[in-house]
Every structure is written in structure tokens, then in C-alpha cells.
Amino acid sequence: MSPRRTAAAIAFLYLFLGYLWISFSDRFVLTLAAESLYLTELQTYKGWAYVTVTAVLLYILAHRALQRERNLSERDGLTLLLNRHMFERELQSELTYADDNDQNLIVIIFNIDGFKQINSHVNLEAGDKFLIAVAGVLRESCHQQALIARFGGDEFALALPDARWPDDGLPLLQKIQRRINQLRVPEIPELSFTSSAGVALYPRDGRSAEKLIDASTLALDEAKTNSRGSHKLFNAELSQVMSSRARLLLDLKLALDHNQLTVVYQPQFCVQENRMTGVEVLVRWHHPERGMIPPSDFIPLAEQHGLICGITDFVMRTALHELIEAGLLYRDIQRVSFNVSAADFNGNESCDRFIANLSELPGDWSVIELELTESAALLNLEGVKQVLSVLNKRGVQVSLDDFGTGYSSLNTLRLLPIQEVKIDQSFVKDIVQNKQDAKLVRTILAMAKALHLRVVAEGVETHAQANYLINAGCEELQGFLYARPMEIDHLITFIGNLNQQKRAQS
């Protein structure tokens, strides 16, 4: 009911009850003392009774309204935990008390790893129920003096007054992480979820609520970067690392604005037929002061801070422009693979972005292949499915990168329009010595053959690795043994030399 209708209903009820009171209370008083000298006194009592009842009703209505307003301003609407604003406020009060009484305090911020899988695989309602269950775990695990909050999304915070690390905080943290790991979503009971945590200590890491929250957030980011399901304790070295990342992020934004990024191409080969089957396009960043920055340093940073879509657009547009201008596309190069991120599929404009990037293609779009990892696909499965469905109808191919390293590879193959899988280089590295890796690679090859999928093994660096893969039935290889990533000028020369060799052999 709208506020206007609610107010009108209350006013009408008040008028109706007032009418009944006036009508029947006067009759009642006259019945008791029609000829009595106490009539005036009874009328006075009746008036006071009316005022008293009205005051009680007014108190109840005002109390409920103010309580509801307070809950909305102080509590998270879903879990009824403190919201971020009130957590900071209450934490500051606890810090003042801790300072006066020479006590320690621990701040922990949690994040549920892979939480978006619930929204992608099931629906938002299932995700909300899971978050409510996590809130229940936190309430049941902590003592009454603890401050518990939900900052938004799948991020939660704890403040433990008069607690020391690790004696008090670590056992509690591990208990909470174990219990979260035991939670299940009924619709997808096979999936379990871990939680990462960042920890900050008072007074060591800060003397204000804001500084402690910032410190624990930085520690959480580091924990998620290193390993899911872990925790990280904030320290001065981590502060320096995060400060370095902040500078790197600023430089990356400038690099995008000033076109400091470049693209390189790594050829892929069908060794048995002695031909190049395609190229994978990779991005490079040559920093004007720090030199070459590894993609492993700046790509995760770009994904965390919303820059990855700009990088994807730059790479696709630049590579297609260079290949078309060099006359290589469709003639010498029949397939161009681009790495894409889960963030590339967020929002309604995602499909339009890809179409705009490919709009300059002079021929069939089947020459284009999008590579995404299984973990990226699971982060935003519905968005990925919708965009790939549209692009696949136009001919764009899809490759599942780092195959075998995810949680449900077969399920991903079933849900997405995949034409190719890439064997991760971590399996190729020790394939000759490691029987387990060799067995896994053979399983992948057999499965891909049954599903009529193309297979590319990446990270091939030795002849022993190549021979093993070829004998196992892998037709396409990629790695330093055959060609390193190269700029467009070198690629033109490389392809020219290959063509000369073919003509000489024929």
C-alpha cells in the first residue's frame, strides 16, 4: 500500500473510532449518572481516558514508523545485519572504548568465492537465500559483543572487540570458513563455496574505523588474488604492494587513453600437415618508465577495476585493422582468437560492443574465435550464453580456454556453443614425466573427439612434449617451440618464410 493510502486508512480509522467513542461514551456516562452531581466529573474522566487512549495509539504508530525507518537506515534489508554506514559508526564507538581500556580489536571482511554462480545457474532468489544462510552462520558463530555487517553483494564484515590475533580471531575465522564451505544451494547441491577473508588489527593497522576497513579490504583483495578460500593478514609490506598496484592502475588508465598498449600474434599449427591454422592475439604493455609489464600483472587489475572491456575493444579493433591492412586475413590466416573476460559479457550493450568491433570485417565472421576460461564463463553464465548465442549465429566460433582446470568442464560444454577446447599449459609442461597429467590429456582428447571439438594444446616448448601430444591425437599445437608471440611486421615475415618453404618443398 502506498504511503498516501496508508495515511488515509489510519486517519479514517481514527475518525471512525473517535465517532464511536463520542457517541457511545456520552450515552454510557448519562446512563451511569443522568441525574448525578458527578456527571461533570465523569465527563472529565472520559476526556482524560480519550486522551490517554489516543496517546497510546499515537505512540504505537510513531514507534513502529521510527523503528522501521531506523532499520532501513541502519540494517541491511535482506539479512537484517548492520549496513556499512552503521558498522563504521558502531566500530568507531568500539575503538574509542578499546582505546580507553587498552584493549585489542579485530576487523575481518569476508567475500564468498564464486557466489555469482548461484545467480547464473539458478536465480536471484536462490542467491538471496544463500546470503541469508551466510548471515546465520556469522550470527551463530560470534559472541554477542561482535559487530556483524553486510556491506553489499556477497561481502560481509566482522568486528571482534577485546580479541587478539591469532589466539581469538583465527579459530573463529577458520570455523566460519568451514561452515560456509558446508552450505549448499538445493538447486545445485554438487557445488560448494569457499570464502576469502582479509584481517586488520587494532591498534597495529589503524586507529580509526575507516583505516581498519580499508586495511582489511586490501588484505581481502590479496587473499582472493593468491588463493580462494584463504585469509590474509594486513601488514606494511602489503600496504606497499597495494600502493604499487594503485600506481599501476593509474598508469594503465593513462596507457589506454594514450594508446600505449600494443598487440602481438602467436601462431597455432597443425604439425602433421605442416600448416599454420590460426593466431591468438595477445596484448602487451610497454611502460615508458618500467619497461614491459607482464599481462599477469595488469590484466587481473583491469578486470577488478572495470578496464578490461576497453582493453578487449582495443585488442580486437587493432588486430583486425592490422591483419586486414597486411592482407593476411582470410588468405594466410583462417582463424583469429581473442581472449575475453567475464566482464565483457556484463550489461545489455555487450553484444553491441562485439558486433561493433567486428563490423569492419570484409568477409565471413567464422574467421573470429573468442576464447574464455571456464571460471570466467561460470561467473556470468547467463550473460555469456546470450551474447555467444547471437555471435555464434553470425559465424563467430568459441573456444574454452584452460580446459580441465575448472569445476564442471563437461557441464560448461553442454551449456555453451563451444567449437574448440584448449589444453592448459600446466598439463602440457610435465606431460612426459607426470602420468596423471598424461592420463588427463588423453581423456580430454578422447572426449573432444567424441563431441567433434577441435583441440589446441598450448605452452608446447619441447619436442618431447610435441611428440607425445601428436601421438596422443592432438592435431593443433601452440607454443615457443614453434613460434613466440610477434608483432605484425614480424608476423608478415614469418608467414612469408613459411610460404617460401612450402613452395620449395612442392
Percent of the chain at pLDDT > 90 equals 49
What's the average model confidence in pLDDT over 474-503? 93
d(CA 147, CA 159): 5
The reported pLDDT for the residue numbered 281 is: 98
3-class DSSP state of 215: helix
State yes or no: pLDDT of 199 exceeds 80. Answer: yes
According to DSSP, the residues that pair with 457 across neighbouring strands are 423, 477
What is the identity of the amino acid at 132?
Answer: I
Cα atoms in the 13 Å half-sphere on the side-chain side of 184 = 7
d(CA 304, CA 301): 5
According to DSSP, the residues that pair with 40 across neighbouring strands are none
The reported pLDDT for the residue numbered 263 is: 97
d(CA 50, CA 20): 11
State yes or no: pLDDT of 183 exceeds 60. Answer: yes
The reported pLDDT for the residue numbered 337 is: 97
What's the mean per-residue pLDDT of the chain?
85
The reported pLDDT for the residue numbered 27 is: 64
State yes or no: pLDDT of 243 exceeds 80. Answer: no
Query: Grid cell 582479509 — which residue?
Result: 198
The reported pLDDT for the residue numbered 41 is: 65
Torsion of CA 160, 162, 167, 168, to 10 degrees: -40
d(CA 57, CA 192): 50
Domain ranges in the chain?
A: 3-74, 84-234, 259-505
pTM here?
0.65
Give the model confidence (pLDDT) of 66-82 as tens digits.
Answer: 555 554 456 788 898 99
Assign residue 387 a region: left if phi > 0, alpha if psi is -120 to 50, beta otherwise?
alpha
Count Cβ neighbours within 10 Å for each residue of 331-344 and write b for 16 or more, e otherwise: ebbebbbbbbbbbb
State yes or no: pLDDT of 37 exceeds 60. Answer: no
The reported pLDDT for the residue numbered 21 is: 67
Query: Grid cell 579459530 — which residue?
Result: 171
Give the model confidence (pLDDT) of 85-142 as tens digits.
Answer: 889 999 999 999 999 999 999 999 999 987 877 776 677 888 899 999 999 999 999 9
DSSP 14: H
Give the model confidence (pLDDT) of 397-449 as tens digits.
Answer: 999 887 766 544 566 777 788 999 999 888 999 899 998 989 989 998 998 89
What's the average model confidence in pLDDT over 215-235? 86
What's the average model confidence in pLDDT over 194-207? 92
State yes or no: pLDDT of 36 exceeds 80. Answer: no
Lowest mean per-residue pLDDT among 223-227, 370-374, 394-398: 223-227
CATH for the stretch 259-505: 3.20.20.450
More confident residue, 191 or 429: 429
CATH topology of domain 84-234: Alpha-Beta Plaits (3.30.70)
d(CA 437, CA 439): 5
3-state secondary structure string across 84-126: HHHHHHHHHHHHHHHHHCCCCEEEEEEEECCCHHHHHHCCHHH
The reported pLDDT for the residue numbered 408 is: 47
Instruction: Kindly give the pairing relationship between strand 105-112 and strand 147-152.
Output: unpaired
State yes or no: pLDDT of 42 exceeds 80. Answer: no
The reported pLDDT for the residue numbered 63 is: 65
Query: Grid cell 602420468 — which residue?
Result: 435
**Residue 159: how many other CB atoms lie within 10 Å:** 28
Closest among 190, 140, 154 to 76, alpha carbons compared: 154
Q: Which residues contact 442 (CB under 8 A, 6 or more apart)?
A: 472
Give the model confidence (pLDDT) of 315-334 as tens digits.
Answer: 999 999 999 999 999 999 99
State yes or no: pLDDT of 462 exceeds 70. Answer: yes
Q: Could you tell me how far CA 44 lies from the centroid of its own chain?
A: 68
Strand order through the sheet with 105-112: 147-152, 155-161, 105-112, 195-202, 231-233
Q: Which of the four pLDDT bands, split at 50, 70 and 90, describes residue 385?
A: confident
Evaluate whether 472 touches 440 at the Cβ level (below 8 Å): no
